[in-house]
Amino acid sequence: MQGYDFACLNKQYGVVLQIGGSDQWGNITSGIDLTRRLHQNQVFGLTVPLITKADGTKFGKTEGGAVWLDPKKTSPYKFYQFWINTADADVYRFLKFFTFMSIEEINALEEEDKNSGKAPRAQYVLAEQVTRLVHGEEGLQAAKRITECLFSGSLSALSEADFEQLAQDGVPMVEMEKGADLMQALVDSELQPSRGSGA
């Protein structure tokens, strides 16, 4: 199927290069062969090494927990949280892969984190750099504002757009009528399995 997609893209749009992870070599070469046979066009394939996490699993959409660049599929808040939750063993390598920071800056940050005796800053730097790159300064500031409000417990600074992000994929929400029953709201929001549990 992927090979046929490449042949169609070549015919309709003049695409001559397919790039994929090294695990896609077979699909890429079949697309090259099919395109050459169907359209007699010279096309090319390029594979790149897979990015793996420290635990050996593949970093990518098929490994679950992936994020999309499209804010309709992954909100800037969830995107930011994804990068904040990067494992310590991966974060400095990911800074090298996914940001435009210099090696010197990354090495200095790693040394600072190692010697500070505090929680590492690297995950926050990674989250800020990548979120700004993908969603712009406005998306980054919204993600940081939502994060701060959720962890401080003060939701008054959140905008309507912030709540829309949370409703999309950040935090379970339920709309309540004024004077609604709190126990039922907890059940409706799936924070409690039933009205009688945990009471």
Indicate if the alpha-carbon torsion angle 142, 145, 150, 151 is positive or negative.
positive
* Residue 71 resides in a domain: yes
Indicate whether 11 and 109 sit together in one domain. no
CA 35 vs CA 16, 48, 142: distances in Å: 10, 21, 45
Kindly state whether residues 12 and 77 are assigned to the same domain: no
Domain span holding position 158: 61-170
Please check the confidence at residue 60 and state whether its pLDDT lies above 90: no
pLDDT for residue 199 is more than 60: no
Specify whether 107 is located in the same domain as 42: no
Q: Same structural domain for residues 142 and 98? A: yes
Asked whether residue 55 is domain-assigned, the answer is no
Give the angle 100-103-105 at the CA atoms, nearest 5°: 80
* Assessment of whether the complete model's pTM goes beyond 0.85: no
Structural domain total, the chain:
2
Mind listing the pLDDT tens digit for each residue in 88-97? 999 999 999 9
Average pLDDT over all residues of the chain: 87
